[in-house]
Structure 1
Amino acid sequence: MCTFRYDDEPDPEERTPAGPLCVPVRPGAREVAVRVFRTPLGERTAVGFTSPARLGATLGAGQAWIRLSESALRAMTEPLGVLLLTVDPTFTAPAVTPAPATRPVPGGTPGTDGTPGTGGTPGTGGAGPRGGAVAARGAAS
């Protein structure tokens, strides 16, 4: 393994102190709680930014934060099982929310995979691709 460190190396072999970090928090009545995030692979990670501008660019200008050293942040999160620390992440994604459960409409058309269908085009009340106009034409004739 190479023991030299290069400036463009994304993962240095040895951890170096990051210095004071701007750490995102959730404000409370009398205290704040350090926010914990997830990596793209789902592992929990503490997050710190090297400047308020970088924090604001990633999480928004309204994000509350406190200044902590790397060692203080690690000491706060390690008892929670959070062993990773990400410094200056540049991308965040909204939280994943489960899709709302749908119920089949009585008399609906079956789906192509053999499951019950929804009975027409979504948002049309099961009337078909033209919405309520199809049912109104059939009733008036």
Structure 2
Amino acid sequence: MPELQYGDDPEPSDRSPAGPLYVPVRPGPSGCAARIFRTPPGERTAVGFTSEDRLTATLGPDQPWIRLAEPALRALTGPLGITAVTVDPLLSAPAPARTVSPILASAPTRALRTV
């Protein structure tokens, strides 16, 4: 088996442009703003997807988006102190459904009084 030469095996932490990304946005008073998410440990991160299908599968069909190159997304979020860009996040939790516990549903309701 031949030895790998330096540069043949990039480090996972090396930054390399991901190309044009589908970036989720939210409407704002001055137009659209990139949505900022949090990683599981709580770090703020910008998010981009490599395809519209991946964005839709993760965030739903009604999520508005724009196309941005990764360097442009970093330039946009850098002044906010956000240095991480997550591409194609795989794990996301669906919105919790509102359910009523059978115990609470059968319990009598009492009005709360302020003192």
Aligned to 2:31: 31
Partner of residue 99, structure 2:
none
| Unaligned ranges ≥5, structure 2 | 97-102, 110-115
* 3-state SS in 1 of match to 2:17: coil
When residues 75 and 52 of structure 1 are mapped into structure 2, their CA distance, relative to the original with a 3 A threshold, is same
Q: Does the alignment pair 1:125 with 2:95?
A: no
Provide the secondary structure at the position in 1 that maps to 2:33: strand
Moved beyond 3 Å, runs of 4+: none
> How far, CA to CA, are the matches of 1:13 and 1:76 in structure 2?
21
- Structure 1 partner of 2:66: 66
Which secondary structure state, in structure 2, belongs to the residue aligned with residue 47 of structure 1? strand
User: Unaligned regions of 5+ residues in structure 1, if any?
Assistant: 97-120, 127-141
Greater percentage in strand? 2
The offset of 1:91, in angstroms, is 1.9
TM score, norm. by length of structure 2 = 0.73
Question: 2: CA distance between counterparts of 1:84 and 1:60?
Answer: 23
Count of aligned residue pairs for this structure pair: 97
Mapped pair 1:54 → 2:54: yes
Q: Higher relative contact order at CA 8 Å, sep ≥6: structure 1 or structure 2?
A: 2
| Cα displacement (A) at 1:94 | 5.4
Distance 2:95 2:76 in 1: 23
Which residue of 2 is the match for residue 42 of structure 1?
A: 42
Superposition pairs for residues 1-141 of structure 1, below 5 Å? 4-5=8-9, 12-28=12-28, 30-93=30-93, 122-123=104-105, 124-125=107-108
RMSD after superposition: 2.5
One-letter amino acid of the structure 1 residue matched with residue 108 of structure 2: G
Query: Cα distance, 1:34 vs. partner?
Result: 0.4
Letter in 2 for 1:125: P
For residues 16 and 74 of structure 2, the distance between their equivalents in structure 1, rounded to whole angstroms, comes to 14
